[in-house]
Amino acid sequence: MRKIIKLVLLTVILGFASLFLAALISFLISQVIPGDPVLAYLPDSWTQPQYDIMYQILGLNQPIIIQFFRYISNMLTGNWGLSLSISRGFPVYDLIMNRIPLTFCRIIIPLIVGLVLGFVFGNYSMKFKSKKGFRTVQILSITGFVIPFILLNILSQFFILNLNLMVLWILLTISVTALTILLSRIYLDNLSKEASRKRSNTIFILLVGASFGIIFLFLIQTELLSFGGIGELLLQAFSSADYYVINVIIFLILFSFPIFIIFSLFSFFLFGKIKSHYNLKK
């Protein structure tokens, strides 16, 4: 029981630390991205006194630490500013919320299906207790993880993904499934008393973070090539220096990564608890 509490606390602490770090990095990036945060609130014909007044209203003259916490407050409450060029004067919150369902659908389906299949086949692979069997699972999992990425990269060069979303779903599902098989096998192996003495839970958490981080970043890359989603909006924002749109999308990307990692870790934790409970009943 103590080991479980320790694992949960460690995951929560790392999760909050990752969220804070993501928010800090996002804030620092907001200081150097293209565009001027003041111009979105000014008319086409503005004067310097108008600019100076709005500069103060937005709190840009305040100490950097106050700006940081004001930034976090605005991001978490949906006060995301106004679009400067993509849709001048239109709330960035509404602009992005119109795109999120497309991106969410494109990403979440492969992740859910891949995690479920990965846990199922990962549990089945535990029947191969020999070193040769484990090596075979490793090789097949790594192969299944890498090959879809290569195919996605080749297909994306010809923009085929924009024409056939099913191709994207299938390849990403294969990749997530293969990775989850390997990670779930490692996790189940760590549940044994012998492995618990040899391996650290922290190492497993870092392994999950790094592995799913690769998938997450690649999903963002493919999203940049997909029309109608957040990726296309980000490219438009950079090309037209739409400050608030760039700012919010970068925040959402950086902030959602640790949330996804936390979700993955608790999925493995729940999987392990169910597996242990099932073994006790047998």
Please say if the pLDDT value at position 38 is more than 90.
yes
Q: What is the pLDDT of residue 246?
A: 93
First-to-final CA distance of the chain: 21
Confidence of residue 124 (pLDDT cuts 50, 70, 90): confident
What's the CA gap between 98 and 219, in Å, rounded? 19
Domain boundaries defined on the chain: 2-281
Contacts of 213 (CB under 8 A, 6+ apart): 257, 261
Tally of CA atoms within 13 A in the half-sphere of 22 that contains its CB: 21
| Contact of 56 with 48, CB cutoff 8 Å | no
pLDDT at 233 over 80: yes
8 A C-beta contact, residue 114 and residue 215: no
pLDDT the model gives residue 159: 55
Q: What is the pLDDT of residues 61-79, one digit of tens each?
A: 999 999 999 999 999 999 9
